[in-house]
Each structure stands twice: as C-alpha cells, then as structure tokens.
Chain A
C-alpha cells in the first residue's frame, strides 16, 4: 500500500507581501519584515487548521465540494466569528490583478444601483425540494430507464471496442453485475481475479438475449421507422436518438439497417432507404451509444446510399440526390467520430470515393455521390482532391451539356454534379483564393466551370460580408427538435448553400419540372388549370422567411383531385416529402375540392429545419 501514489505534503506558507497588504488594509502602515514572517507562518498554520476542520463539515454534508459555509462552520468551531457576506453557492468570484510589482486577488463588489434592483422583476422562485422514486433495480437487474444511467456507459463501450483486452475499470463492472445471475459468465470479467490471469485476458462475453419487453420494443420501433405513419416514425426516431437503454439492441438495429439497405437498393425503394438512413442518424445522435463495433455493417449501407448507380425507380424524376447528400453527411460525421489510426476509416473512404470518381465509366449518379461524399469530409479534402480535378470534370460536364444527343438522365446527372461542384467549391475558393475574381483567370484555372464558379465565389464573398453586417438583425428562427432529411431545392436552380440558415434568399427563378418527359401511364399535368406560385405569407413576415415553392406538390395535388392512382400517389408523396413533417403530406391529401378554394389559397406549409425555411404551396384557381 505504501507504494501507492502519494500526494506531496505541502508546506506552503503565505507570502509576506500578503501580510503587508492586509496590514495596510487595516491601517497598519509599516510592518517589520520579521513580524511579517512570523505572522505569515502563524496565519498559514491557522488557515490549514481551519481548512482541515472544514473538510469534516464537507464530509458530513455529503458533498465533494468545499463550500464557504463549511469554512464558516469551521471558524465557529474555533469560536471565531464567521465571515459574513461571503455566501457563494458554486464558485467564489475572486479576481486577480497585478501591477506596481504587486499581485492581488480580490473580491469584486460592484456598486449596485438600488433603483435597478427595485425595477427589475423578481427572479423565479427556486423550486422546492421534492421527492421522486424510481426503480434502481428490479430483482437484481437494472432497468434501462432515463432515471438510471445507461447500462454500459459510452466510455466503456468505447474501451470495449477499441481495447477489448483491457481490464474493466473498478466501479464500471456493470457488465459483470448484469451477468451476476448467470454465475458462469462472471468468471471471465471483473477486476479482482488476478488468480486466473489466463482467463481474464479473454474478451468479456456479453449477453445479447433480449427480454420480452426489448423484443417488443424492437419490433415496434423498426416497424414504425419504415412504416407509413410519419408521426410514429418521428416518435420512433426520437426514441432511438435519446433512449439510454438501447445498448443491448444495437447489434439488431445495425443488422436491420444493413439488410434493409441491401434489399431496398435492389428494389430501388427510395423512401425506405431514406427511412433507414434516418435511423442511422438517430443511432449516431444517441449520446449513450458507441457505434464503433457496428461500423462494418453501417458503413457499407451508408456508402451504398451515397454512390449506388440507381436508388429509385425513376432516376430522372425522383430526388435521390437528397438521399445521397444526407448519406454523405452521415458518412462524414462517422468519419469524424470514429476514425482512428488503426481503422483509418477516413482515408479508406476517401480512397474508395476517389477511385470510382476517377473512373471514366462511372455513371453520373455515382459520380455525384462520390463528390458529395468527398466534399462533406471538409474543406481540406475539397482543396486537395476536388479542386485539382475541376477542369477535367468541367470538360466532362461540358461534353454532356453541349455535346450531341445524350440521354436526359445523363443531362440531369451532369447538371446536378455541376451545381454540387459549384456549391462546395465556391465556398472553399472564396476562403482560399485571393481577390480579385477574374472570370478569365477562373476559366484558365478551372476550365468550363470557371465562369460559373467565379460568379458563385463572388456571391459567396458578398454573402459572407452581408452576414457579417447582419449579425445584429433580428431574425426569427423556428427550431424544431427533430432534424429531418432535407430535400433541398430540387426544383430550383441551386443558388448557393442551403445550409446557411441565417441568410434569407429568394429563389432566383422557378423552374417548373413539368412538362416533363412523361411516361405514358401518367396523366400529364394540365398546366392551364392551376398555376402554382410563390407568395410570401404576409407583408409583416417577409423579413423573416420566404415561402419557397415546390412545384411537384401541385402536380401531386392535381393527381389527388383528378382521381389518380391513390396508392401510387401516396408512395410518390412519401418519396418526395420524406423530408417534411408528416402533417404536410396529410394536409396535402386533405385539400378540399378545387372549386371550394378561394382564389389565393394556401393549401399547405412545411417547415424544413435543415434549411430553416418555411415551404408553402399556394394554388390560384384561375377559373
């Protein structure tokens, strides 16, 4: 025991200058050096004595922190009048000052204007002490409820996955207590069994048997996550993101997600893929879970959603781009969290993306995914990997856009890749490239994309300046607790990053998707009947937010009233609107017959927290 770490016994004595300062403060001008030394030794000793007594009060007060009241009580013990007016709950706001060769710690007391105190409203009364009961353990097993700490703390999950052979630290052997009932399992873990050194080196076996409640929960959650009811899904995702007791179910969830992606990619079921990615996000958001052990299942699933050639039935119409963006963001997040020198996730992922991007035969969709995945990894990656290839990529886009007959799908793909490149590269260039922004210079540097890039950079620069200006402007931000996947401006020609929430932008133009190259089975939208227009909600609120129109809504609404295939419609709505809250879809469906609508009628609104915008859909009845 003696060799245990021992604290250095300190024999610190207050400096004699303090004595002088104190003497001066009570009016004793000249204090001799010897008196100062004697005083300081005496005072230091008394202070230590009082501190030691105060510790007793702390222990009996069942606290870890020494408070001023402990000192007061210790003073009382010595029959010394305690100090009054030094009540401080948490910390003592001593300030430090030096000057004139002196160093002082002092207690800052501001002058308070009494009228200020009188005029300020009374603060909230602190809550009274109350008693709350919960189950810490039920017949030896700790229930996973929010009142209890998570069964396996995140640090422990981390050490388990990164250093599986390391001993479980004392005070953290929850695992062993869970297994306390199955006696056989306890031998492998626990800390004190140095007799069985060989056994101890084994990785602790963890039970993965789920209780009936857990099985039910798992069933409910997975069903809700991929079901049709958006409210339930939101609830389920919320539960995944916050519940502390999911550690045991984590392997199931990860398998569910990876299998789900595998199946739905083949079936091109975009909606389900989106739901599954949202599950991944929720799992990653859960502060009590450490996903490292399950990345081998999750990463392939996420990467699939980024780079798969086809993710939906109709690549020309469906907004699979949003899914790719979202998944790319997830990927970047997990790289940030879990990349270590041993697993090298980030570099491996980067290599994968780069390799398929560099391949000439890669489809535009995959190309888009690769670029999105890379650019989410941060400005450094953009700078080193994407910027040098801008010219090459620009040439490729040019070939599609201006070249001879190509399929429409390629054109859309190229268009998206172009806007993606512009979006990500512009912000990086704006930060790194010195002024001035010369179009010709850009063209020589970046080729075909140069001029567009130039204008984007200029825009980005002005925005940055504007942003700096507008810091003080009051902005209304509506926050919503659940982050949801955003299908951002699919129909709009991208005008800068949608993820700069404080900047309000008016879409420069509205490109209607219809008339689209319709497949024969679909009724073509009678554009004459309804005009969808973007309108601001009212004069007062124009400063705060704009309604941004999503053209396809109109089309779908039309379908409702034209008695189109409802099931199909519903499915499509789900696809398009997966990012919006559930209310949107249903309010769309619940639109009364067009004839009952007044001329300017707001039929639905949706708030997208990712872009911090309110989307609205207006229908003007022309008849």
Chain B
C-alpha cells in the first residue's frame, strides 16, 4: 500500500508542475515540492467553486498557492520553525494540515480515502475536486495544443506521461478491475448502464499505467482479459492500444496524448455516482478511485439515471461526452438579412412564364420572400458581426438569377421526390478524392490522387481563359464587349486541368462568385486558383500536415481549412496567414463547413466529435458527441438551425444547434457517408455513401417531430425516436460508384457525383 501511496504522491507532484503555470501560481521554486501541495490546491479551490462564485476564488487560490509553495520550500530545507510561523500567520486550515500529514506520512488508508474523510464524504466537495482538477488540466491542454506543427509546440511528453508513474502491484489491477466489474454487474438495472460507462476509460488508463510501468506481460494479460467487455464502438482505439506494449511506444503516440491531456467526460446521475463512490470507499479501491479522480471528469446531474440507449446515443467519442457547459453558449444561428435587390420583372423569361399562365402564384411568393428578409430574425447575428465583402455588380446579377431560378424551384416533399442526375467520373482509376459543384451547377471540379484538379463545364458554355498579356494589349479597351474579347476562344475546352499540388487533393471548394477555386492537399497547402486564368494565385501554407478539407464562406472572401494537425484555420483570401485558429479537437479534422450566416464554422473530426466555432472570437461554442466513427460529412440546413453529420459508422445524426442537442439518428447506410446535402428549402436531406447509394430522408418530419421541452434542453437527455425507416424516402443504388458529392441545383434537382470503379 505504501508503494501505491508513493506513486500517488508523485503524480500529484507532476501534475502541479503542469498546472501551476496555467494558474499563474507560484514560481519555479516548487519543482521539488512534496506531495501535499497538489492536494491542497485541489481541495481548497474545490470548496470555493462548489460555493458557486469563481471570481473571488481565483485570487484566494493564487495567494494560497504562493503560500503553500513557500511553505514547501521551507519544509524542504528543514526550516520547521519558519513553517510553523508561516502557517500560523497565514491561517492555513487544519484540514490541509491534516491531509498533508497523512500524505507525507504515507500511511493510513491512502490519499484519496483520507482526503475524502477530511471532506466528510460530501459528494459536493468530491465533485468539485474532480471538476477543478479537470479545469486545471484542460487549461493545460489548451495551453499546449496537442500537435501543432513543430516540436516545441508539443506538450512535454515526459510530463504528460509521468502521470502514469503510479506504482501499484501490477497483479492487483486485474483484481481491482474485476471486483468493480462484479459490483457494477450486481447493482440495480437503472444504475448499471450509467456505471458501465466507467469501464472503458478505466480500462484504458489501467492498461496504460501497466504499460508505462513496464509490466508488459501483465498489461497484455489485462488487455486480453477485459478488452472484450468494451463497447464495440471503441474498437479502433482499442486496436491502437493493443499495439502499444512498451513504455517507449507511449512517447509520441497521439492517441495516448489524447487520453492523458483530456479528461474523459462521463455523465452520471447523482444516485449512481454515490453508489460507485460508496463501493470504492468500502473496498478501499484506491487505484481505481485515483484514476477516476485524475483522468475522468464526472458530470453529475440530479434526476433519473439514463437508460442504456440514451447513453449509447451520446457516447462513442474519443474523450467521452461533451460537458453540459460546453453547449450552453448562445449561438446566433439565424440567417443574415439578404440585401434588397430589385428584380427586373420586365425580363423576357418572365413574360414567357406569364404567358404560360401562372403569374398569380409567383407574385405573392416573391412578396413573401421579400417580407421575410426584411424582418430581423432574433436568432440572427447582427449584420456586421463579421465583416463581409461588399456585393459587386456581378454578384447582384447572380443574386437576381438565383431568385429567378428560385421561383421555378420544385417544392419537394415525401410525395414529390427530387430527380437525381448522377455524374460519373470514368477512367478515374480509383483516383477521385474530392468533388465540388458551383452553386449555379454550371461547373464541376474534381480533386484527384495524382495531385491534379480538374474543372469541367457541364453546360454547353466552354471554359475559356483570359488571353495572354501580349494579346490583351491588342484589344480595344473602349469597346462594349471588352469582357468577351479578353477571353481566348481558341483554347476553350470542356475541361481544364490545374497543376500545382504535390500530393492527393482531398478538399475542393468553389467560391460563390465562381471566380476562384480552393483546393487542399496532402502536401499541407491550400491553393487558391483563378477560374479566369486557370492558374494558381496563392498557396496558403500553415498546416504542415495533410489538409483534409477546405471550404469557402457562403459570402466568399473567408475560407476554412482543417487537417491532420488537428487545428482548423480560418483564412481570408488576401492574407497569407490564418485569421483564426480553432484548436481543441483531439484527432484529425476531417471535414469543415461554414454556417450559412458565415459566423460559425463546424468541424468534424476523427475524435468522433463535431465542434462549432465562433468565427468572431475563435471560441468553441458547441461540442456534439454521439458518432461512433470519424466524421466525414457535415451539412447545415438552409435555415441555419440544424446540422447533419455523417460518419464512417454509416449513420447520419441530426443536431439542433440552438439547443445543442442531438435530435435524430438516420440509420440505413452500410458504409462511410461522404456527402450530405439539404434541399434548397430544407425539406429533404440527401446522403451519399461509400455503399454506392444515395438516400433521401424526410428532413421536415425529422425536425417537426422533435420535442424540445425545457427538461430535455436543460439536461441534455435525449430520447431518440426509432423512426429511420419512416424518414427514409428513397434509396437509389448506383453501379459500383461511391457517392462522393451531392448538390441541389437552384431548382432542387439533385446532382450526385462519384468515380465509377468497375
């Protein structure tokens, strides 16, 4: 037991080294501090924060920390009198002294238990301990982005790892774990599901401890014995773990860093938690208790324990569920007011339409659209929250075109399904990696594994370059059709190839005005191409690792990119450095999407979470957990209220952005979903997948059925209806062509694209 205690002390010590700089606490002198410091640090702010007011607490905390540091220094140098004096003068509580005594003596019933005793077993203070230490750690995590480029950005791996230096009898791990397992299996049904959540993080941390302390055989045996009990959606992580059997392997392993730097978040009802706590105290199961305290964040709520299905719906991410506070921030999900543009009604098209005999229908529609845009949505951000580019004349023309097309739009619904036109890329030899279609559906671009980007015109209008400078000088600049004359007719073709990348192109995006194209590649750059000259204009360097996705803002000018370095970056086309960096994901960022109002960015990641970031201040305002695999597709509903996400697990999840809740689960695909798109009016959600199908879902019904009562909103306990089959409106199989991209034209025709793999 003494050994265990010693290990515990070490841990605390090491953690302090890390947390204190974050707290602006004491200086350098406490590197060799003894154990109690950390304990005090944990205990004291805990009682304060449980009181609820954090602000005054920080000051007191800092003072106390400084004092403690001095105390330690004195003690270390055996200046016991000074210690006494200082303690008296500072009026440090007996509690701390007690616990200190306990810890330093290294005897008794173990640190944790002793501490609990001193806090008279109050759950509140326990919780606060947990939460405070977590905040300290998360602060450190933020401070040290887990993998941002060069070596100096890396957190000190040794520091992180040394948390595992805890020494216990390796043979007992097995016993600890199985006794807990036995206990959880024996509790009441209603608690069992909740408490079972503890298994996975405990398992991982215990395994890592064993590995870190060089108990290779015990670790392997432990893994063999218990890995089968874990939920199947952790399989990928378990596979990574299974390979790691040596202390040296832990160095530089990202998965491991993720586990260490971020606390695994669990939501457990108070009753279940009390049950667990009591059990662990009775059994003196310190090993497990320590892990729970140090590596888990337990979010305790009052009320009924959740059911297994409720838990399963939300869990699955690399670091557990999102904390409730994480989704409390206000999100302005409304749309921006559209600029008012006079639509010329005396157009020939209009007349032709009128002759066809439905002029009445259209006019009121247009009016309603106009009036809608005049009203300010209370949920919309202010118009200039994010500075947006001015509309150019050509943009206005495009808007007019858009509105004209919109009047001809088909209203979709369960009874009027859209037609789907499939664009197959032939002879792509498995090389197609990304596709995008312009908003007006006139151009299609494909990114390929051979580093090329190809642009096709799908209208009879061919792609034309601007003439070379020498030829341009010959043109009469006064003529009316100068814009036509600058185009080179001779080289006009249906497709153009853009060369420049040096690795597979994984992300591609057209600018809304169709003048530019963005592409992101394995070579770590994002390139901006001109579609006037078909040349590369800028290479944005910042990501040093593959950039998995990029997208233009719906208003142009800004774009977002995200990649293997786990950081999403917001750029403006005229800045060579990013404007914002969004860091927080624990694994690769696999897809990035702009909110329709351009004020937010959603990112999906391999850590199986989706985060929503505020472009204005770079904060993470939403964390959505529930996917069981890397997320590969995201789509905002046109009204900005909802988000749909698709992952390798073949499920589409629907999210209410305002409330920060999962509101639907669409099951049906059997392979990775690579594309999602809402129809122009948001009635239909289309999903395209690696399983060669396009599926259409009734989005209206999914959103209508939703009941967001206050209780659900407050607790975040969702209860998903099992209605995937009712919502599925159609499945359309292609002939061995994975669906890589989906796009609704302005008239609600669905375009799908993919490479035919014979």
Contacts and interface: CB of A to CB of B under 8 A. Distances in A.
Interface of A: 1-2, 4, 6-7, 9-11, 41-42, 44-45, 48-49, 52, 56-57, 59-65, 67, 69, 73, 76-77, 89, 126-140, 142, 147-149, 170-171, 173-174, 176-177, 180-181, 190-193
A127, A170, A177 pick with most chain B CB within 10 angstroms? A177
B476 interface: no
A55 to B, nearest CB: 9
Interface string B237-253: 01110111110110001
Contact of A59 (B446, B503, B632): B632
Given A77-B545, A131-B458, A137-B419, A6 B729 contact: no
A176 B726 CA distance: 11
Interface string B153-192: 0000000000000000000000000000000000000000
B118 to A, nearest CB: 39
A191 B722 CA distance: 12
B650 to A, nearest CB: 10
Contact of A180 (B230, B449, B729): B729
Nearest to B606: A56
19 contacts: A6-B232, A9-B238, A9-B239, A11-B243, A11-B245, A45-B245, A59-B630, A61-B504, A62-B690, A62-B755, A73-B504, A127-B426, A131-B424, A133-B423, A135-B421, A136-B732, A136-B734, A137-B417, A149-B733
Given A56-B606, A61-B449, A131-B444, A142 B732 contact: yes
Given A2-B230, A11-B243, A60-B506, A136 B235 contact: no
Contacts of B242: 9-11
Contact of A190 (B444, B522, B725): B725
Contacts of A128: 427
A64 B757 CA distance: 11
A88 to B, nearest CB: 13
A167 to B, nearest CB: 12
Nearest to B249: A45
Interface in B220-261: 220, 223, 227-233, 235, 238-240, 242-246, 248-249, 253
B239 A52 contact: yes
A62 B432 CA distance: 8
A494 B657 CA distance: 83
A173 B731 contact: yes
A1 B231 contact: yes
B733 A73 contact: no
B731 A177 contact: yes
A32 B25 CA distance: 52
Nearest to A11: B242
B44 interface: no
What are the 6 tightest A-B residue pairs by CB atom distance, in nearest-first order? A140-B417, A136-B420, A48-B243, A136-B422, A137-B420, A192-B725
Given A73-B546, A136-B694, A59 B672 contact: yes
Interface of B: 220, 223, 227-233, 235, 238-240, 242-246, 248-249, 253, 312, 415-433, 444, 446, 448-449, 454, 456, 458, 495, 503-504, 506, 522, 545-546, 548, 564, 588, 590, 606, 630, 632, 648, 667-670, 672, 674, 690-691, 693-694, 696, 722, 724-725, 729-735, 738, 740, 750, 752, 755
A144 to B, nearest CB: 12
A359 to B, nearest CB: 52
A577 to B, nearest CB: 39
A61 B449 CA distance: 7
B522 A132 contact: no
A136 B444 contact: no
A129 B446 CA distance: 10
A243 to B, nearest CB: 14
Nearest to B449: A61
Contacts, number: 186
Nearest to A78: B252
A193 B725 CA distance: 8
Contacts of A69: 449, 504
Contacts of A57: 504, 522, 546
B235 A132 contact: no
A126 B430 CA distance: 14
A56 B458 contact: no
A129 B428 contact: yes
B interface, over-half SS: mixed
A129 B426 contact: yes
Contact of A73 (B503, B588, B725): B503
A136 B415 contact: no
B276 to A, nearest CB: 20
Given A42-B246, A192-B724, 14 more contacts: A9-B239, A45-B249, A56-B564, A61-B433, A126-B427, A131-B456, A135-B422, A137-B750, A139-B416, A140-B416, A149-B734, A171-B668, A176-B731, A180-B729
Contacts of A140: 416-418, 696, 729-730
B266 to A, nearest CB: 17
Contacts of B729: 140, 180
Given A73-B504, A73-B522, A60 B548 contact: yes
B504 A133 contact: no
A60 B722 CA distance: 30
Given A60-B506, A133-B422, A6 B670 contact: no
Given A11-B220, A139-B419, A60 B433 contact: yes
A49, A52, A59 pick with most chain B CB within 10 angstroms? A59
B756 to A, nearest CB: 8
Contact of B422 (A41, A62, A134, A174): A134
Nearest to B433: A61
A42 B696 CA distance: 48
B231 A77 contact: no
A136 B735 CA distance: 10
Contacts of B239: 9, 52
Nearest to A146: B735
Nearest to B668: A170
A620 to B, nearest CB: 54
B433 A62 contact: yes
Given A64-B690, A140-B417, A142-B732, A9 B424 contact: no
A3 B511 CA distance: 47
A357 B249 CA distance: 80
B426 A132 contact: yes
Contacts of B312: 1
A227 to B, nearest CB: 33
B235 A6 contact: yes
A326 B700 CA distance: 58
A451 B219 CA distance: 83
Contact of A65 (B220, B430, B433): B430
Contacts of A181: 415, 417
Contacts of B449: 61, 69
A181 B414 CA distance: 8
B341 to A, nearest CB: 32
A585 B417 CA distance: 51
B240 to A, nearest CB: 6
Nearest to A148: B735
Nearest to B444: A131
Nearest to B456: A131
Contacts of A126: 427, 429
Given A1-B232, A64-B690, A133 B725 contact: no
A2 B670 contact: no
B92 to A, nearest CB: 48
A171 B426 contact: no
A62 B508 CA distance: 14
Contact of A174 (B230, B667, B733): B733
Given A59-B630, A60-B548, A2 B223 contact: no
B423 A131 contact: yes
A2 B425 contact: no
Contact of B244 (A45, A60, A136, A147): A45
B34 to A, nearest CB: 37
A612 to B, nearest CB: 31
B231 A2 contact: yes
A135 B233 CA distance: 37
